């Protein structure tokens, strides 16, 4: 299993250079992560958009500039459609969001017919590298689905398990979080967590241990769980945290980043190709890790 | 102004002892915390619970309760009802939850509130003392209301604003947290934020300010600029005093992240109209329970003596 972002970087570099298509670039954008990925030899970029927006970045790259393929298409949505088409035809490996807003970008990417959606729903996994923990941990869904139904939660669970396996977690331990550790019909997320837990017990998610509902103290602390009388191999040892809704997911991820100063990078799952979203709540230091993750996911969906 | 839990501990030992009714101290960690609170001069405890269990535990933690007032009762609801009625009648200054389901305590508080005609929404305020931040902050409601609507949220905020006024913050800043993001449009918690902002501006939430932010990203990166982890400085952020959570599951998950984060400590209480009820989590250990008792003592003192200066 991946022990840290450093290990993810090493494994990604060992994969060889991937073709990352960046689209659309109708206006100036922050190319820092892409420049770093280029310097590390992770990707060779194909940029679709307006060459005016690219000129200052390309100039600053020196010799590396020759590795960039630029396709002129000033219309944002047409540029994005072209990029998606390239992925489908195998002409590119990774899609990176350029300067289009996440809403319009995701609408196109997750379009059932023309986009890259592969599963019932896509979901975002926030991958953390917590200091003092000997492995990376995952929290999902931290962005895409606002208030997922149990049917959608099943897919979100399958999506994150797929990522975990790609990151070397053969038998991931999963905590389905809620407000309390008891099943209480008045709190619907406890019912969802219990259903997921029962499905896992019956082998419906393959080789995983999924415990739920768990409150966060039982999930992160074996000592706290024992005090509450909760005995499970997941308590204090969770690899994956499933959140009840996006408010919990997004805010938990942001709190871990801003108060806990925990490194975090995200991966979009449920799609046919790796997509780097470049979302605003990802720290600048970890944006290259998102490209590392995308490189690791290439050809494995 | 009470800026930290250390300030609270100091005030608790200076202004104590306060009368604390302890509801079912039937667990070693809890009994130890009660013992320490008496030793530190924070409290003069009154213990309600199962005689055999309380005596055995007191013995285990070497706490001589022979001169401590005790009321023997086994029924959980009867313990909750009696303890909370003692708080409302003024016999005690603070009530503290021990080994008793939280719902029993909330039910008892709601009943007493309706008797005194307040009909207050009962909510849990979980304070955080964050390293590097020069004031206290809190999450609310982290314990009672599963999916509060706008009206309930306004009441939840009033309870927290009242607490922060007592702690010496004349105009606390509020962040109404929401999972609103760039996609999927406005969600109900964001609509509530817009309404609460209007209500605060009109003076309907007492003296406070609803900030124009709904997430930690907004708080730390106004304007949505890229940020580096290494540059985050909580002391320089315009960090709120009160964070209203959108729902119970979110609140509970966020506030108990102190189990994972090393730079945060937590103390929770319910502000009833007659005084504080401290609500340790069933997973809390003696040091945090003692801290919660200190918080209760501090708030009881502020109620008696006005706001902290």
Same domain, A59 and A85: yes
User: Which one is predicted more confidently, B118 or B236?
Assistant: B236
Mark whether A23 and A150 lie in a shared domain. no
Same domain, B157 and B282: no
Average pLDDT over residues A86-95: 97
Task: State which residues form the domain around B63.
Answer: 1-120+273-309
Kindly report, residue by residue over A65-81, the tens digit of the pLDDT. Answer: 788 899 999 999 999 99
Average per-residue pLDDT for chain A: 94
Residues B301 and B197 both lie in one domain: no
Beta strand B137-140 pairing with B124-130: antiparallel
A280 and A238 share a domain? no
Interface test with B, best of A179, A222, A238, A275 (most B CBs within 10 A): A179
Residue A131, both tokens: 């200091």
Whether A297 and A200 map to the same domain: the answer is: no
CA nearest to B131 within chain A: A259
Give the strands of the sheet with B94-97, arranged side by side: B69-72, B43-49, B18-23, B94-97, B275-278, B264-272, B124-130, B137-140, B242-244, B173-176, B209-210
B5 with B114, same domain?
Answer: yes
Claim to verify: residue A11 and residue A92 sit in the same structural domain: yes
Q: What is the pLDDT of residues A111-141, one digit of tens each?
A: 999 999 999 999 999 999 999 899 999 999 9
Of B224, B227, B250, the CB nearest to A283: B227
**Co-location of A127 and A250 in the same domain:** yes
For range B53-70, the mean pLDDT: 95
Asked if A165 and A210 sit in the same domain, the reply is yes
Q: Is B215 on the interface with A (CB under 8 A)?
A: yes
Task: Give the pLDDT band of residue A61 (cuts 50, 70, 90).
Answer: confident
- Contact yes or no for A257 and B247 at CB 8 A: no
B288 and B253 fall within a common domain: no
Q: Strand pairing partners for B125? A: B140, B269
Q: Do A126 and A140 form a contact (C-beta atoms < 8 A)? A: yes
- Into how many domains does chain B fold? 2
- Same domain, yes or no: A44 and A108: yes
Give which of A70, A62, A1, A10 is closest to A41, Cα–Cα: A10
Lowest mean per-residue pLDDT among A90-104, A237-251, B111-125, B148-162 = B111-125
Same-domain pairing of A111 and A4? yes
Give tens-digit pLDDT for A168-221. 999 999 999 999 999 999 999 999 999 999 999 999 999 999 999 999 999 999
Indicate if B217 and B144 belong to the same structural domain.
yes
A297 and A222 in a single domain? The answer is: no
Angle (CA) A150-A151-A153 rounded to 5° is 60
Task: Specify whether B114 is located in the same domain as B159.
Answer: no
- The CATH number linked to B35 is 3.40.50.10950
Name the residue facing B189 among A217, A223, A247 (closest C-beta). Answer: A247
CATH number for A191:
3.40.718.10
In sequence order, what are the residues at sequence separation of 6 or more whose Cβ sits closer than 8 angstroms to the Cβ of residue A133? none
Average pLDDT over residues A88-116: 96
State the ipTM, two decimals: 0.95
A186 CB neighbours in chain B (<8 A) are 146
Whether residues A289 and A231 fall in one domain: no
In a shared domain, residues B245 and B284: no
Q: Give residue A142's domain range.
A: 119-266
Q: Give residue A255's pLDDT.
A: 97
Query: Chain A neighbours among B 229-268 (CB < 8 Å)?
Result: 229-230, 232, 234, 245-254, 256-257, 259-261, 263-264
**Are B182 and B289 members of one domain?**
no
Secondary element (H or E) of residue A48: strand A43-49
- Compute the distance between CA of residue A37 and CA of residue A55 in angstroms, rounded to an integer: 19
The model's pLDDT over B77-98, given as tens digits with 9 standing for 90+, comes to 999 999 999 999 999 999 999 9
Exposure pattern of A156-190 as b/e (b: 16+ CB <10 Å)? Answer: bbbbbbbbbbbbbbeebbbbbbbbbbeebeebbbb
Same-domain pairing of A140 and A129: yes
Looking at the DSSP bridge assignments, the partners of residue B138 are B127, B242
- Same domain, residue pair B168 and B243: yes
Specify the number of domains making up chain A: 2
For residue A82, give the CATH number of its domain: 3.40.50.10950
Same-domain check for residues B194 and B278: no
Q: What average pLDDT does range A153-173 have in this prediction?
A: 97
């Amino acid at each position: 299993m991946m022990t840290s972002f450093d290990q993810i970087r090493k494994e990604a570099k060992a994969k060889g250079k991937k073709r990352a298509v960046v689209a659309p670039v109708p206006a100036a954008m922050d190319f820092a992560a892409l420049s770093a990925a280029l310097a590390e030899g992770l990707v060779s970029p194909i940029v679709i958009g307006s060459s005016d927006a690219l000129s200052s970045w390309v100039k600053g790259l020196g010799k590396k500039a020759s590795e960039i393929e630029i396709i002129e298409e000033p219309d944002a949505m047409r540029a994005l459609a072209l990029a998606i088409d390239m992925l489908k035809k195998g002409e590119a490996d990774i899609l990176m969001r350029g300067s289009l807003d996440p809403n319009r970008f995701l609408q196109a990417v997750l379009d059932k017919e023309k986009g890259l959606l592969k599963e019932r729903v896509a979901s975002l996994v926030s991958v953390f590298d917590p200091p003092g923990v000997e492995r990376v941990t995952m929290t999902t869904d931290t962005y895409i689905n606002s208030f997922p139904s149990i049917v959608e939660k099943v897919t979100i669970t399958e999506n994150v398990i797929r990522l975990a396996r790609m990151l070397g977690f053969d038998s991931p331990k999963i905590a389905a979080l809620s407000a309390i550790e008891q099943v209480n019909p008045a709190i619907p997320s406890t019912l969802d967590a219990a259903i997921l837990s029962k499905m896992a017990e019956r082998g419906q998610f393959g080789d995983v241990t999924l415990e739920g509902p768990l409150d966060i103290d039982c999930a992160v602390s074996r000592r706290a769980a024992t005090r509450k009388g909760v005995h499970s191999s997941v308590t204090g040892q969770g690899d994956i945290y499933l959140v009840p809704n996006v408010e919990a997911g997004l805010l938990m991820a942001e709190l871990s980043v801003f108060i806990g100063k925990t490194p975090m990078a995200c991966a979009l799952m449920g799609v046919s190709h790796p997509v780097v979203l470049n979302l605003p709540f990802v720290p600048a230091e970890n944006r290259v890790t998102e490209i590392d993750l995308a490189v690791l996911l290439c050809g494995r969906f | 102004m009470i800026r930290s839990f250390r300030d609270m501990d100091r005030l608790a030992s200076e202004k104590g002892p306060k009368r604390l009714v302890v509801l079912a101290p039937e667990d070693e960690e809890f009994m130890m915390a009660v013992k320490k609170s008496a030793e530190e001069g924070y409290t003069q405890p009154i213990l309600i619970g199962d005689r055999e269990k309380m005596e055995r535990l007191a013995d285990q933690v070497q706490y001589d309760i022979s001169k401590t007032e005790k009321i023997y009762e086994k029924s959980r609801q009867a313990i909750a009802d009696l303890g909370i009625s003692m708080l409302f009648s003024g016999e005690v200054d603070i009530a503290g939850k021990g080994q008793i389901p939280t719902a029993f305590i909330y039910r008892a508080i709601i009943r007493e509130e309706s008797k005194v005609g307040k009909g207050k929404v009962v909510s849990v305020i979980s304070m955080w003392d964050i390293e590097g931040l020069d004031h206290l902050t809190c999450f609310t409601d982290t314990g009672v209301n599963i999916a509060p609507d706008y009206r309930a949220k306004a009441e939840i905020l009033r309870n927290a604003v009242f607490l922060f006024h007592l702690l010496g913050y004349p105009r606390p800043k509020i962040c109404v947290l929401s999972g609103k993001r760039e996609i999927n449009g406005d969600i109900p918690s964001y609509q509530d934020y817009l309404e609460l902002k209007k209500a605060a501006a009109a003076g309907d939430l007492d003296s406070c300010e609803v900030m124009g932010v709904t997430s930690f990203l907004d708080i730390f990166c106004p304007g949505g600029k890229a940020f580096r982890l290494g540059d985050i400085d909580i002391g320089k952020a315009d960090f709120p005093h009160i964070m209203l959570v959108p729902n119970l599951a979110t609140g509970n998950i966020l506030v108990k992240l102190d189990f994972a984060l090393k730079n945060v400590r937590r103390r929770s209480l319910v502000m009833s109209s007659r005084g504080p009820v401290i609500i340790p989590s069933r997973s809390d250990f003696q040091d945090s329970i003692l801290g919660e008792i200190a918080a209760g003592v501090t708030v009881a003192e502020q109620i008696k003596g006005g706001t902290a200066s």
